Amino acid sequence: MPKRTPATPSVPKSDTARYAGLSVLLLEDSPHFAGLVCGILKSFGIGTIHSARDGEDALFILANHRVHLAVVDDLRPPLDGLTVVRTIRTAAAQLPNELPIIFVTETPSKSTVIAARDSGVTEVLSKPFSAAQLMARIASVIRKPRPLVRTEGFVGPDRRRRTKDTATKRREMDRIPTMSS
């Protein structure tokens, strides 16, 4: 009997070169889940994946390597995922402040999403998620980057979406069956 493998969403050929040139920081404290996400990122053709298990390692990587995108888990304190995001957004010049950040959370409550938004994340993705959902978030932040807004109380991507269709397409994508962690 042939071995069945889970379907991986295909990456449009126009994105293949774009993804091959990407350097992604994955901040995930669970080795198992980090391995799953790294596998998904490799299947997209991501060129470089820097993996960190805690916030300090992530900040070190950002200060010492060129990174185009971060996927940040909701780590436990003292340096939880949202603290890492706020540090990136408000840090001095040695960190890439305008870096798109996809925040991954196990608790997708309204208060968590609001806290993530207010911390400066670009996109939120809840566990468990499918490879297609992760690919949709990555494609969104790469194809349609949002400018960074700096005010006294907020540093992060412009919260306004460019079209109504973007939000509708995301809601449709989130209905795809998910991958278990």
Closest CA to 55 of 79, 72, 77, 89: 79
Q: Are 11 and 45 in contact (CB under 8 A)?
A: yes
Instruction: Give 168's strand partners.
Output: none
pLDDT tens digit sequence for 53-90: 999 999 999 999 999 999 999 988 888 999 999 999 88
Provide the percentage of residues in the chain whose pLDDT is more than 90: 57
At residue 29 the predicted structure's pLDDT band, cuts being 50, 70 and 90, is very high
Cα separation, 117 vs 56, whole angstroms: 22
Q: What's the confidence (pLDDT) of residue 105?
A: 94
Cα separation, 28 vs 129, whole angstroms: 14
Cα separation, 104 vs 72, whole angstroms: 6
Cα separation, 109 vs 47, whole angstroms: 33
Give 104: exposed, middle or buried? Use CB within 10 Å, 0-12, 13-18, 19+: buried
Closest CA to 49 of 33, 32, 71: 71
> Among all chains, which residue has been given the structure tokens 């005010």?
151
The CATH number of the structural domain formed by 15-173 is 3.40.50.2300
pTM summary value: 0.80
Instruction: Give 71's strand partners.
Output: 26, 102
Cis peptide before 147 (omega within 30 of 0): no
